[in-house]
A and B are shown apart, each in its own frame.
Chain A
Amino acid sequence: MAEHDEGLDRSWWCSCAELGWTTLLVPDALGGGSVSGSGLLDLAVTAEVIGQHVAPGPFIPVNSLITAIVESPRREQYRALLDAFIDGTAVGTWAAHEPANEWAPTRPRTRARRDGDRFRLTGVKDRVEYGAQADHFLVGAELDGRLAQFVVPAGIPGLAIEPVWSLDLTRPFATVALHGVVVPASAMVTPPETALAAVERQCQIQLVLQAAETAGATQAVFDQTLRWVFDRYAFGRPLASYQAIKHRMGDAVTQINAMHATVRGAVDAVEERTSVADRLARVASIFTHTHAAEVIQECVQFHGGIGVTWEHDLHLYLRRVTVNRAHYGTPEELRRSLCLSLAV
């Protein structure tokens, strides 16, 4: 999969869609639904399993675009597109980052200008997950000084897509430039009146799913490391018998339980749209992405030299977690945003 030319195996993605990976955030009336009654919880559990297996696939990007449609006052106009995302025949992604270090999805520099009854979009989005594979992009832009979101199809004139290197071997990224791309009025999936709330919701869902995936990946690394310290002997006794290692494993398992716990807390709040949903989603992401890589690096340490070789799978997990840490707000960026929003 890592060396697949296209970066995405579409028939495989359709089989993921068949498993329900794309329906859980969609209300029954729009052709979705969930088994447990909490679609986000089911989705978070799925994200965790994806993390455990470092599985590829545009899971978070597609669900972000689906969120934008489901939250839209114009959702009925997007039924056909939504159906295509649900059955996996179309792949979409949220072009959320712009070329700068700051994570600011509500303040894009990409511009939308009215052009008759159409819109003309100009700007650059970078670090777009599955950017070279996606059929549709969710693009945030400034329109008359306010935020709005558009759905832009791939292949439209003026859209230039450049794949970029990715630290995660199974998760491709691209730069997407919009050189005066002209879209019809119907492309405005999120009008300015609902845009802040919609982007906020997309962020919350993205943060909890990403944190769930990271927690799953960290758990998998920990589990295999726990087996390893029992199997590996040094000075005639298993590594697991050394207190220096026991205490660090005790610390690690506590951190991992805390990650699962904070993901669950955030999932419940976001699902129920409580007043603290935004804060708890950020807390979950900050906590998880501050500690996951630390735990994995500890596990690399316990593995010894093999842990820093290409041959061992550990690096695949470390790649995934490091990429998750970097995207949709680093812990540092999210912490700064809480400093401002919680100021007394």
Chain B
Amino acid sequence: MPYPVTAVENCEEDVESFRQRARVWLKAEMPLRDQYAGKERSSDDRWARDRQLQATLFSGGFAGICYPREYGGQGLSFAHQLAFTEESLSYEMPILLNLPSLAICLPTILELGTEDQRRRHIPAALRGEAVYVEFLSEPHSGSDLAGALTSAEADGPNWVINGSKIWTSSAFAGDYAMCLARTDWNVPKHRGLTMFIIPVDHPGVTVRRIRQVNGNSEFCEEFLDDVVVGPESVLGEVNGGWAVAGHRFYYSRTALGGGNPYVSGDHDESVAQSRGITVGGSRDLAELTRELGLTDALPEAVVDALVMETVRDQLARRITGGIKSGALPLEAASMMRLFHAQTDWACVDAGLRVAGGYAATGRPGARVDPGRFGEAYLFRQATSLGGGSTEMALNIISERVLRMPRESALDVNVPFREVRRGRCADD
């Protein structure tokens, strides 16, 4: 698979003058950020607010910096996006729209969609009018995404989709979903999948929110009952859904590990929000140490977390650069995914240690509540599960980067309908 280059590399305005222009505009148009105040808002309010902020960015000419101009973007380079992000850090930004909408779904549509699909979906998303989510995992198959059981049956020119999906980030706030469904059960599993773009409020789609251990409910499950969509909703080729998934994997790994040109604004915050994580990065840890009066020296655990964050970003630069130059295969992005989880573990563990006794009870009246770090600890493993488990990442790294022998699989060269999907009665 070639490196998906959609960001424009040549542009008229140089990065520094763009940065100056962005600085002036941000100061005039965007509200200042209060990291902790924003978290008090209800989820629905925050989504409405972020759509509004996105509309403001769009009218100011700062939405979709790396998207081509013909689809409502700015047609600028990743360097411009990075400059904008740096300038934007003290302001409120539509962070919720980054993942998966603007950084994973829309780039995949930009890359593989028809002209009609691009025009229909990209400008609306950049204006803040449409939000995109992903219906990928299923109750039966988590990391084994290609084992999807949701089916799409042809009915004349239309498709009828039935099945259920789970672990969907923020489906309740989405307008459209990229949905992976099986369109041919008589071929091996990777060859019978198709990706659809379906409206979330379409008849037959039921969305239910799932409550997480940290009290948030950013994840959802969906039930699809006779959902009828037209041929224009197929993204890529019929039975070519796995290739589409491959492209979205690339964007997802770079979005999580760093190096995705379509993320605008605070990267860590974007990832945290998409995971329903409330606190955790080294900036939060620094706030916590201040709150607890640990001002003589940072605790070692916090420095360890900071070291990991620094190296995580440096690794992202190395891997994305290596993939771009061809020195590394596309699957090397899994190293970023793995390292990202390890970094989060370091941060979460540091939070628990620094919060000390107050991790258990919180501290009433604290601006940065140590109790949130205790709660974050309960949710620790989410980072190594969501977006494909770290075990999957290790398989990919060892098999695709190091070329070690593949795990034997009993579901590869057989028609999917013959694949065993559970324990049989005679076992």
Flag whether A272 is at the interface (Cβ < 8 A). Answer: no
Asked if residues B311 and A261 are in contact (CB atoms below 8 Å), the reply is yes
Of residues 212 through 271 on chain A, the ones whose CB sits less than 8 Å from some CB of chain B are 226, 229-230, 238, 240-241, 243, 246-247, 249-251, 253-254, 257-258, 260-262, 264-265
Question: Quick one: which of A265, A279, A286, A343 contacts B295, CB cutoff 8 A?
Answer: A343
Complex CA distance for A286 and B306, rounded to whole angstroms: 11
Cβ of A335 within 8 Å of any chain B Cβ, yes or no, is yes
Across the interface, which residues of A come within 8 angstroms of B311, CB to CB? 258, 261-262, 283, 287
Q: How far is the CA of A85 from the CA of B302 in the complex (A)?
A: 42
Which residues of chain B are near A226, meaning CB under 8 Å?
A: 402
Between B286, B302, B332, B398, the greatest number of chain A beta carbons within 10 A of the residue's beta carbon is seen for: B398
Complex contact A253–B405 (CB within 8 A): no
Q: Please indicate the chain B residues that have their CB under 8 angstroms from the CB of A240 in the complex.
A: 404-405
Please report the total number of A residues contacting B with Cβ < 8 Å.
34
B59 to chain A, nearest CB (A): 35
Chain B contact surface mostly: helix
Verify if B136 is at the interface (C-beta below 8 Å from A): no
Q: Provide the bound-state CA to CA distance between A283 and B319, in Å.
A: 19
User: What residues on B are CB-neighbors of A229 within 8 Å?
Assistant: 404
Distance in angstroms from A302 CB to nearest chain B CB is 12
Is there an interface contact between B303 and A338, defined as CB atoms closer than 8 Å? yes
Chain B 290-304 near chain A by CB (<8 Å), digits 1 or 0:
100001111110111
* 1/0 contact string of B34-55 vs chain A (CB within 8 Å): 0000000000000000000000
Residue of A nearest to B322 (CB): A257
Within A268-308, the residues touching B (CB, 8 Å) are 279-280, 283, 286-287
Does A339 sit within 8 A of B, measured CB to CB? Answer: yes
- Given A287-B307, A342-B306: A258 and B398 interface contact (C-beta under 8 Å): no
Q: In the assembled complex, which residues on chain B have CB atoms less than 8 Å from the CB atom of A238?
A: 405
Size of chain B's interface in residues, with CB distance under 8 A? 39
- B155 contacts chain A at the CB level, 8 A cutoff: no
A251 and B402 in contact (CB under 8 A), knowing A264-B318, A339-B300?
Answer: no
What separation, in Å, do the CA atoms of A65 and B312 have in the docked complex? 33
Q: A247-B394, A250-B398, A286-B307 are in contact. Are A258 and B300 (CB under 8 A)?
A: no
A340 within 8 A of B: yes
Closest to B308 in A: A287
A residues less than 8 Å from B332 (CB atoms)? 257
> When the two chains form their complex, are residues A253 and B397 in contact, meaning their CB atoms are under 8 A apart?
yes
Write out the residue numbers on chain A whose beta carbons fall within 8 Å of the beta carbon of B114.
none
Which of B289, B295, B310, B401 sits near A283, CB closer than 8 Å? B310
Residues from chain A with a CB closer than 8 A to the CB of B395 are 243, 246-247, 250
Q: Beyond A254-B335, A335-B307, A339-B303: 20 further Cβ-contacts under 8 Å? A: A241-B404, A246-B394, A247-B391, A247-B394, A249-B404, A250-B394, A253-B335, A257-B318, A258-B312, A258-B339, A262-B311, A283-B306, A283-B310, A287-B311, A335-B300, A335-B303, A338-B298, A343-B296, A344-B286, A344-B298
29 contacts between A and B (CB under 8 A): A230-B404, A238-B405, A243-B395, A247-B394, A249-B398, A249-B402, A250-B338, A250-B394, A250-B398, A251-B338, A253-B401, A253-B402, A254-B315, A254-B338, A254-B397, A257-B335, A262-B310, A264-B314, A264-B318, A265-B310, A265-B314, A287-B307, A338-B306, A339-B300, A339-B302, A340-B297, A343-B297, A344-B286, A344-B298
> Contact residues of B with A, CB < 8 Å?
286, 289-290, 295-300, 302-304, 306-308, 310-312, 314-315, 317-319, 332, 335, 338-339, 391, 393-395, 397-399, 401-402, 404-405, 407
